[in-house]
Amino acid sequence: MGTEVKKAICRWCNARCRVLVYVKDNHLVKVEPDPDRPTPTWPSTKACVRRVMAKEWWDHPDHLKYPLKRVGARGEGKWQRISWDQAFDEIAAKLGEIKEKYGAECVGSTLGTGRTVDEYRSRFFNLFGSSNNCGQGTICHGPRAIMFKALIGWWPYVGADPKSKCYILWGREPSHSWATVWYHIRNCKKEGKKLIVIDPRRDESASIADIHLQIRPGTDCALALGMINVVINEGLYDREFVTSYCHGFDQLKEHVKQYPPKRVSEITWIPVNKIKEAARLYATHKPGAIIDGMGVEHLENNAEYIHARLSLAAIVGNINVPGGEVLSGPHPKALTANEIEAVDLMPEGQKKKMLGSDRFRVYTWPGYDMIQENLKRVWGKRGGVFAFDCQASAPLVYRSIISGEPYQIRALITLGSNPMITQANTKLVYQALKNLDLYVVVDFVMTPSAELADYVLAGASWMERPCIWDGYNNANYLIGGERALPTSIEGEYEHRDDYQIWKELGIRLGQGKYWPWNSMEEVLDYRLEPMGLTFDEFMVKGGVDRPPVDHEAYKKKGFATPTGKVELYSTILERLGYDPLPAYREPAETPISQPELAKEYPYILITGGRHRPFFHSEFRHVDSLRKRHPYPLVQIHPETARKLGIENDDWVWIETPMGRCRQKCQYYDGLNPRVIHAQHGWWFPELPGEEPWLHGVWESNINVCTNDDPGRLNPLLGAWPLRTFLCKVYPVRKTRHL
């Protein structure tokens, strides 16, 4: 057989590039850029190191090949290969027993950052009757998705648009996280367009910016409110748009009097003149777009920041204009992922049992139902993927496993996720996972979390799955990708894709009639049926459908909010019992809020900045990538490091009241001397998997130091902070082992 070339969608990061997968005799040869990639910018795959190492990743000896069952004590590292039928039979039997004895709500799941196809997981749990699904969505994508939908009725597409005249990069560094946008922004700068960067670090984007606002971590909401103050007081807002299409401008105008530039400067550490300059530049160079990211989603004040930042974009008239923040709506014909999730089949009584729904009401069932009513009224369909737009509170889920309050989660299924590394408060997560009656992990390699499981299932990668990508159901375009490799080859490996796993469990638990399709391809046929196409026919036609966006749709049908306008003053937040206007709150653990604690822990710790070539906790086992970045790094200002007796490249302890871990010092003068930035996602696959090692989970994992106390979670969303902790740093005693 000759070499075949398949067009697939890579899910190794959130760029979702379409690539060419070369296959010979059902085996991977290489992955190359797709010259027909349907993106209006340079294909990031051209220089992507993950693409280059695809075959190394696929052939790696750590790549899971078969389902495994624990045969020793939990964490002992003793496993037995079993068949898929045995795995499904035993797991389903235990899930059914827990449901019958304790209730469906006592089973939950965790998910990661989109390595998997989550509508099938949602479908299974909606049919099963449990709403206790949690994961990284609460601090990644979810906060912006749900707040945007509450306030303007859709998630705005903000990316690389040549019509934009000004960009604000707010808490996002695209040179490390979004290569297509980084390429576009560099070109825009060459063309004389404006760039404002708001970030505690002076990274690559800041180095080419017209204005860099080096903000004190955690104070972004105050800055946004201060910029609104400047725009309103100087008459730089779009009067026509505000008068006709914004609700609550007068209340916002009165509210931001509390945030004059002088006060905001004191809060944020940014000079008054730079706050004013940035506000003026953004308001007078239209259209413009704010591209924000996890740097702001990881804040205690994240929902309030999103509300303020969106209000800023709205009052200058940058909503749904070409080059601004575009509301595309869902695809007009194809069925969305949300329509596959079977959300309506979740029993009403079970919705109310979602952990956190009485407390964090915007990002759980109360807010989800209220918001989706408006989306369906205007767009004809719900928006987003339920898996990311409505989640139980992860900190409450783990506490429930341990305490049994208000009831005990007894089984957890982790899909493409690694909570021992990526969830805050690792010690608590460890205690919870050890306490489960049943723990199942679906992944590609044995992670620290998988080492604590009862069953580890060998999941299928993006190369083994077909895909229709529509931006988590937030965009009106469709981009298709084929299944390039088989999920199983006899005698070599036996993987299962997401649909197969959830369908097989569902059938064994009485859900058979709700899983009528034989394969993921058949599901995609079903989704494309309203277009008169099968998935294969769609791919033959190019695998792309991009209907034009109606930039004046809101003039005809209004925004998908209760008032039909952009809600600067949010009626949804008001109905849910929250402040309808955004307000700044000092984070719980700063030198200002806890001056006594700061005497022992004098520095502000931030985490979570992307660092290539990895993607969060992935790819540490791939030799070619580890050679590029062998050690975890903590960035410390040289002045601070020298004062502490720390040399560049020394191993240092990073300690908070929660615990400590060690990373290597990297001198970095792009930080304020009072701020420390530690890398996240670190574990060491080369270390033993059994306890006490767990692949080095306690060595350099910064989440050993982070705090997810429920009192510190965002009161609207339940998101936990990762950017504002007090810490101290000191040298590790030098030994030959380091």
Q: 72: burial class by Cβ within 10 Å (0-12, 13-18, 19+)?
A: exposed
Q: Does 466 sit behind a cis peptide bond, omega within 30 degrees of 0 on the bond before it?
A: no
Range(s) of the chain covered by CATH 3.40.228.10: 158-326+554-575
CATH classification code of 83-142+332-479+491-545: 3.40.50.740
Number of C-beta neighbours around residue 407 at 10 A: 15
Q: How many CA atoms are closer than 13 Å to the CA of 62, on its beta-carbon side?
A: 21
Q: What is the CA radius of gyration of the chain?
A: 25
User: Alpha helices, DSSP H only, in 578-677?
Assistant: 595-600, 623-628, 638-643
User: Structure tokens of 716?
Assistant: 């609207």
The helices-and-strands tally (H runs, E runs) of the chain is: 29, 27
Q: Where is pLDDT greater, at 163 or 430?
A: 430
Q: Is the pLDDT of residue 736 over 60?
A: no
DSSP assignment, residue 35? T
Alpha helices in 576-654 (DSSP H): 595-600, 623-628, 638-643
- Other beta carbons within 10 angstroms of residue 669's beta carbon come to 11
Distance from C-alpha of 391 to C-alpha of 368, rounded to nearest angstrom? 10
pLDDT at 41: 43
Burial class of residue 81 in the structure, from the number of CB atoms within 10 Å of its CB (0-12 exposed, 13-18 middle, 19+ buried): exposed
Query: Does pLDDT of 534 surpass 70?
Result: yes
Six-digit token string for 406: 């208000």
Buried-exposed string 185-214: b where 16+ CB fall within 10 A, e elsewhere: bbebbeeebbbbbbbbbbbbbbeebbbbbb
For domain 3-59, which architecture applies? Single Sheet (2.20)
Per-residue model confidence as pLDDT tens digits over 384-396? 888 788 999 999 9
φ, ψ (nearest 5 deg) of residue 128: -70, -35
Phi, psi of 231 (to 5 degrees): -60, -45
Strands (E), 548-678: 566-567, 603-607, 633-636, 651-656, 659-667, 675-678
More confident residue, 16 or 664: 664
Residue 496, SS3 per DSSP = strand
The HSE-up count of residue 111 (CA atoms within 13 Å, CB side) is 28
Q: What share of the chain is helix, strand, coil (3-state, %, to 5)?
A: 40, 15, 45
Write the pLDDT tens digit of every residue in 562-598.
Answer: 999 999 999 999 999 999 999 999 999 999 999 999 9
Q: Taking residues 702-718, what's their average pLDDT?
A: 97
Predicted confidence at residue 38, as pLDDT, reads 63
The CATH 3.40.50.740 domain(s) of the chain lie at 83-142+332-479+491-545
Flag whether pLDDT at 351 surpasses 80.
Answer: yes
The candidate with the shortest Cα–Cα distance to 493, out of 518, 465, 464, is 464
Q: Is the pTM of this model over 0.85?
A: yes
What is d(CA 607, CA 295) in angstroms, rounded to the nearest whole number? 9
Is the distance from CB of 3 to CB of 24 less than 8 angstroms? yes
pLDDT of residue 737: 40
Classified by CATH at the fold level, domain 595-731 comes out as Barwin-like endoglucanases (2.40.40)
- pLDDT per position as a tens digit, 166-208: 999 999 988 887 777 888 888 888 899 999 999 999 999 999 9
Lowest mean pLDDT among 146-150, 228-232, 249-253, 612-616: 612-616
Q: Tell how strand 288-292 and strand 79-81 pair up.
A: unpaired
pLDDT digits (tens, 9 = 90+) for 240-250: 999 999 999 99
Q: How far is residue 476's CA from residue 381's CA, in Å, rounded to a whole number? A: 12
Q: Give the count of alpha carbons within 13 A of 290, CB side only.
A: 29
Tokens of 463: 């190369």
Q: Give residue-wise pLDDT tens across range 290-317.
A: 999 888 999 999 999 999 999 999 999 9
Smallest CA-to-CA distance from 159 within 172, 146, 150 is with: 172
Q: At residue 237, does pLDDT exceed 60?
A: yes
Long-range contacts: 67-75, Cβ < 8 Å, 24+? Answer: 67/455, 67/456, 67/457, 67/458, 67/494, 68/455, 68/456, 68/457, 68/458, 69/454, 69/455, 70/453, 70/454, 70/455, 74/434, 74/439, 74/452, 74/454, 75/434, 75/451, 75/452, 75/690, 75/691, 75/694
| Residue 474 to residue 560: CA distance in whole angstroms | 14
Average pLDDT over all residues of the chain: 94
* The predicted structure's pLDDT at residue 384: 82
Q: At what angle do helices 220-233 and 261-268 cross, to 10 degrees?
A: 160
CATH 2.20.25: which residues of the chain? Answer: 3-59
Least confident of 108-112, 224-228, 271-275, 456-460: 108-112
Confidence of residue 43 (pLDDT cuts 50, 70, 90): very low
Domain with CATH 2.40.40.20 in the chain: 595-731
CA torsion angle 606 609 614 620 (round to 10): 0
Q: What span, in angstroms and rounded, lies between the C-alpha atoms of 199 and 176? A: 14
pLDDT of 159 reads 67
Task: For residues 551 and 301, give the distance between their C-alpha atoms in angstroms, rounded to a whole number.
Answer: 31
**DSSP state at residue 207:** H
Q: Which residues lie closer than 8 Å to 378 by C-beta, 6 or more apart?
A: 153, 557, 558, 559, 560
Q: What is the DSSP letter of 155?
A: P
Task: Report the distance separating Cα 267 and Cα 586, nearest Å.
Answer: 9
Residue 40: which pLDDT band, with cuts at 50, 70 and 90?
very low
Question: Which residue's structure tokens are 């009725």?
Answer: 153
Q: Which residues pair with 634 in a beta bridge?
A: 665, 678
Domain range 158-326+554-575, CATH class = alpha beta
Instruction: Kindly tell me if the per-residue pLDDT of 265 is higher than 60.
Output: yes
Q: Write phi, then psi, for 608 (nearest 5 degrees).
A: 95, -5
Residue 653 near residue 634 (C-beta atoms within 8 A): no
